[in-house]
Amino acid sequence: MRNFPVAKSRRLRSTPYTDRIEAHGVSSYTVYNHMLLPASFKSLESDYHHLKKFVQVWDVAAERQVQISGKDSAKLVQLMTCRDLSMSKVGKCYYAPIIDDDGLLVNDPIINKLAEDKWWLSIADSDVIFFAKGLAAGNKFDVQISEPNVNILAVQGPLADDLMSKLFGDEIRQLKFFNFNYYEFKGHKYFIARSGWSKQGGFEVYVDDDLAGQNLYDSLFEAGKEFDVKPGCPNLIERIEGALLSYGNDFDNRDNPFEANFNKYISLDTDVNYLGKAKLKIINEEGISRKLRGVKIDHNKIDMYCEKTLFDDNKNIVGYVRSAAYSPTFKKVVGIAMINKPYWNMKDQFRIEIDEKIHLGTVCDLPFV
Amino acid sequence: MRNFPVAKSRRLRSTPYTDRIEAHGVSSYTVYNHMLLPASFKSLESDYHHLKKFVQVWDVAAERQVQISGKDSAKLVQLMTCRDLSMSKVGKCYYAPIIDDDGLLVNDPIINKLAEDKWWLSIADSDVIFFAKGLAAGNKFDVQISEPNVNILAVQGPLADDLMSKLFGDEIRQLKFFNFNYYEFKGHKYFIARSGWSKQGGFEVYVDDDLAGQNLYDSLFEAGKEFDVKPGCPNLIERIEGALLSYGNDFDNRDNPFEANFNKYISLDTDVNYLGKAKLKIINEEGISRKLRGVKIDHNKIDMYCEKTLFDDNKNIVGYVRSAAYSPTFKKVVGIAMINKPYWNMKDQFRIEIDEKIHLGTVCDLPFV
């Protein structure tokens, strides 16, 4: 795949950390929520091996927050997601698919409950803020909706606790998965969650002050020398192996949450009120004809810029690969694919064309084991 | 400014023309509506000179359509824009700011009226589809909302009529500005508007069939040899000189339509019903404290990746440049800036830091003359 430079502009927003990651050797960008998101540093594979062994600091400011507050905020947030939030608690994070009136996916944010009447939807790559504003205006809800100046730094990898406790004290080791709390460093209080877009463990620091964020960035690298800390970013190989789905890559507004395997986040039998509930009940009764599955391909390289078709021996369509990368662990290309129902447990190999040659592969479970 | 490759993925959608523009030498991309949009070919300046003299074919598939149809479609479309559409006609295109309930800008699409109950909002870079879906659900409107597979090819430049009439016949010369009609070529009917994101004249072909689009692309280059046709894209220099605003660059969801000089598209005295009308009336009475103006800077180079501050001699803030480029015509950097009211007609020069040196400039009218 040839390289094409990204043409920078104000529209593709920089972050408070952009100067630092460029000095640290970022080697490619993607664009996410109208913002620059680093996609690689040394190389995908080198970043991958380091992430699985040490600790990295990530500029994931592109994970923007949609802040919803006010009297009707809980009602609006519940209306947007098929996950039952009626028992939700302040200080906790909820992975929650957002769906529209047709039962189709709009986003898959982590919803942070800051107060009974204040929420942050930490979003994937679509403008959830306008969905929320449309719904609020249409329903005449008493809410305030904004995108606060919050720029997340993630600290990810098996040594994340060791690094973070050097700055924030040992109490941060007690923070449970998908919980958040406030921790002080050099006079600034940071909102920190145990979460992140890798399966290697770690934290996300929701920084609400640019200077405090830059200071934290520098301090993490200073304190992290003993742990071989490096700059990093959500890693394509690692996130596919761990089946961390990506809106726009693995699923989008033409897919429903059953097709994306979100079943455990779909509440059909409670009396919570959300958009598309009637539609989801119908889909649930009728069943789905395709869903996301893993694929392994006997090859050492793949470039993805649109979905690739999988065929069986009789040239019937098995499904479509949507994300894929070579995995040094499995010594194969691993991918996430929308697979047609007859092939969900396919025993035979499928065929896929890569660089004008046919390669063979198999359908498997997600995450990869 | 250093170059960073864009990391391609399915999420940054390719277009039916991507293979062709890459073969034709695209040299940088931006991302627009989650899609690759070419940003330069030979160079910004070379593309600029050619565009102003000859004719270019542009892959502007990233100008996505939000299709709104059904019984309440006119009501929903009007609700979204402060422009009075009550007298709108089928076959015409309407530049129309979309605003939210707070009177802030969401997008500035061209609205194409295909039928009394069918509209295409040809959008700038934000997810208007989710704003529309939110409003429709909240208001229980009887509408269908979708993003059709429409991928625009623009033909822009002073020789656009000559080229297009070779393919579509002389009748296309009669098509008036911001009107559209259907024209046949090799058995396919193409929706063609006289419009485009340059001030050099031309057409936008709303292609609803990938193969027909690729055939048209190839035929335009074949027929265009005698006009020195070249591949191109919205040109930063040309669009700034012509004051064609860009959502996300020059204005965004923190600006109101008065600040963006959209006064002639704001209907306050009619009885049309749209979001934010009460808010706009208040702003109109109170007056605004800043608005978009032109700036000329005595320098030959500028790299923009966030807004840059302008100061007066006493270090007071004059405003912020949001888009800028060196203009070979004016022999200066030209830019679009949000200027504070006391400086709208500033006679003195302002100061701006570019590459760690101070340069001088002046505030001027838009478009540049």
Q: Give the phi and the psi of residue A217 in degrees, each rounded to 5.
A: -55, -50
- The two three-digit tokens of residue B250, written as one number: 């020059």
Residues 273-312, chain A, touching B (beta carbon < 8 A): 275, 303-307
* Residues in chain B closer than 8 A to A126 (CB atoms): 34, 127, 130
Nearest-by-Cβ selection for B10 from A7, A134, A307: A307
Report which of A232, A357, A349 is spatially closest to residue A301, judged by C-alpha positions. A357
Q: What is the DSSP letter of B140?
A: T
Q: Do A18 and B126 touch (CB under 8 A)?
A: no
User: A301 and A236 in one domain?
Assistant: no
Q: What is the pLDDT of residues A134-148, one digit of tens each?
A: 999 999 999 999 999
d(CA B46, CA B57): 15
Q: Smallest Cβ distance to A248: which of B11, B137, B249? A: B11
Residues of chain A neighbouring B246 (CB-CB closer than 8 A)? 11
> Is B130 in contact with A306 (Cβ distance < 8 A)?
no
* Whether residues B74 and B49 fall in one domain: no
A chain contacts of residue B307, beta-carbon cutoff 8 Å? 10
The minimal CB distance from A133 to the residues B8, B100, B137 is found for B100
The residues near A284 (Cβ < 8 Å, ≥ 6 apart) are A258, A266, A268
In a domain, B145, yes or no: no
Residue A357 burial (C-beta neighbours within 10 Å; 0-12, 13-18, 19+): exposed
* DSSP letter for each residue of B310-351: EE-TTS-EEEEEEEEEEETTTTEEEEEEEEEGGGTT--SPEE
The pLDDT value recorded for residue B1 is: 65
Q: Is residue A107 part of a domain?
A: yes
Q: Do residue B180 and residue B281 come from a single domain?
A: no
CB atoms within 10 A of CB B356: 5
**Residue B95 pLDDT:** 98
Residues B35 and B157 in one domain: yes
Instruction: Flag if B10 and A323 touch (Cβ within 8 Å).
Output: yes
Within a domain: A50: yes
The tens place of each residue's pLDDT in chain A, 369 residues long, gives 689 999 999 999 999 999 999 999 999 999 999 999 999 999 999 999 999 999 999 999 999 999 999 999 999 999 999 999 999 999 999 999 999 999 999 999 999 999 999 999 999 999 999 999 999 999 999 999 999 999 999 999 999 999 999 999 999 999 999 999 999 999 999 999 999 999 999 999 999 999 999 999 999 999 999 999 999 999 999 999 999 999 999 999 999 999 999 999 999 999 999 999 999 999 999 999 999 999 999 999 999 999 999 999 999 999 999 999 999 999 999 999 999 999 999 999 999 999 999 999 999 999 998
Report pLDDT for A1. Answer: 65
In a domain? residue B300? yes
pLDDT at A369: 87
Shared domain for A207 and A221, answered yes or no, is yes
pLDDT in tens, B276-298: 999 999 999 999 999 999 999 99
Rounded to an integer, what distance in angstroms lies between the CA atom of residue A33 and that of residue B126? 9
In a domain, residue B220? The reply is yes
Same domain, residue pair B181 and B222: yes
CATH number at residue B209: 3.30.1360.120
> How distant is the Cα of A74 from the closest Cα of chain B, in angstroms?
16
Angle at B40 between CA B34 and CA B42, to 5 degrees: 155
- Please report whether residue A246 resides in a domain: no
Residue A306, exposed/middle/buried by CB under 10 A (0-12, 13-18, 19+)?
middle
Q: A123 with A64: CB under 8 angstroms?
A: yes
The phi and psi torsions of B363 (rounded to 5 degrees) equal: -90, 140
Identify which of B7, B127, B138 has the shortest CB distance to residue A139. Answer: B138
CB < 8 Å from B in window 76-135 of A: 100-101, 106, 125-135
The CATH number linked to A78 is 3.30.70.1400
Tell whether B28 is within 8 A of chain A (Cβ): yes
Q: Last residue of a domain, which of B240, B274, B301?
A: B240
| B324 Cβ under 8 Å from any chain A Cβ | no
Say if the Cβ atoms of B249 and A9 lie within 8 Å: yes
Pick from A5, A40, A134: CB nearest B131: A134
Is position A165 within any domain?
A: yes
Q: How many CB atoms lie within 10 A of CB B313?
A: 9
**Which one of B305, B309, B321 would you mutate to disrupt binding with A, by most A Cβ within 10 Å of its Cβ?**
B305
B358 CB near a chain A CB, below 8 Å?
no
What burial class does residue A356 get, using C-beta atoms within 10 Å of its C-beta: 0-12 exposed, 13-18 middle, 19+ buried? exposed
pLDDT at A6: 97
Instruction: Go through B28-40 and write b for each residue having 16 or more CB atoms within 10 A of its CB, e for each that does not.
Output: bbbbbbbbbbbbb
What is the β-pairing status of strands B290-297 and B357-364? antiparallel
Touching A: B residues 38-77, CB under 8 Å: 39-40
Q: Are residues B129 and B260 in the same domain?
A: yes
Does residue B210 share a domain with residue B200? yes
CATH of the domain at B294: 2.40.30.110
Identify the closest residue of chain B to A35 by CA–CA distance: B31
Contacts of B44 (CB under 8 A, 6+ apart): B235, B236, B237, B325
Say whether both A126 and A86 belong to one domain: yes
- Residues of B in Cβ contact (< 8 Å) with A108: none
Pick from B6, B9, B322: which is nearest to A304 by CB?
B9
Residues of chain B in contact with residue A128, where contact means CB-CB under 8 angstroms, are: 130
Q: Give dist(CA B335, CA B325) in Å, integer.
A: 7
C-beta atoms of A11 and B30 within 8 A: yes
Using a CB-CB cut-off of 8 Å, the residues of chain B touching A253 are 129, 147
- Residues whose CB falls within 8 Å of the CB of residue B97, separated by 6 or more in sequence, listed in order: B81, B82, B83, B105, B107, B108, B257, B260, B262, B265, B266
Distance from the A63 Cα atom to the nearest Cα atom in chain B, whole angstroms = 15
Question: What is the DSSP code string of B59-126?
Answer: E-TTS-EEEEESTTHHHHHHHHBSS--TT--TTBEEE--EE-TTS-EEE-PEEEEEETTEEEEE--SS
pTM exceeding 0.80:
yes
A161, A55: one domain: yes
Report the gap between the CA of A106 and the closest CA in chain B (Å). Answer: 8
CA A184 to each of CA A187, A227, B92, B238, B363: distance values in angstroms, whole numbers, following the listed order: 6, 22, 59, 50, 45
Same domain as B262, residue B299: no
Distance from CA of A214 to the nearest CA of B (A): 17
* Residue B269, C-beta contacts closer than 8 angstroms, at least 6 positions apart: none
B29 touches chain A (CB under 8 A): yes
B29 and A13 within 8 Å at the Cβ level: the answer is: no
Distance from the Cα of residue B346 to its chain's centroid: 28
Q: Tell me what pLDDT residue B369 has.
A: 87
pLDDT the model gives residue A2: 81
- Asked if B1 reaches chain A (Cβ–Cβ under 8 Å), the answer is yes
- Find, among B248, B290, B288, B304, the residue nearest to B105 by Cα: B248
Q: How many CB pairs under 8 A join A and B?
A: 184
Cα-Cα-Cα-Cα dihedral of B292, A136, B79, B106, to 10°? 30
Contact residues on chain B for A101, CB-CB shorter than 8 A: 133, 136-137
Are residues B208 and B182 located together in one domain of the fold? yes
pLDDT at B2: 81
- pLDDT < 50 stretches in chain B: none
Say if the Cβ atoms of A134 and B129 lie within 8 Å: no
**CA B259, B262, B264, B265 torsion-angle sign:** negative
Distance (Å, whole) CA A122 – CA A128: 10
CB contact under 8 A, B11 and A133: no
User: In angstroms, what separates the C-alpha of B307 from chain A's closest C-alpha?
Assistant: 6
Residues of the domain holding B26: 18-63+150-240
Task: Report the 10 Å Cβ neighbour count for B336.
Answer: 26
What domain count does chain A have? 3
Identify which of B18, B125, B246 has the shortest CB distance to residue A34: B125
**Mind giving me the DSSP string for A51-110?**
HHHS-EEEE-TTS-EEEEESTTHHHHHHHHBSS--TT--TTBEEE--EE-TTS-EEE-PE
Nearest CB neighbour to A138, from listed B11, B106, B135: B135
Helices (H), chain A: 18-23, 44-53, 73-80, 128-139, 160-168, 210-223, 236-241, 277-286
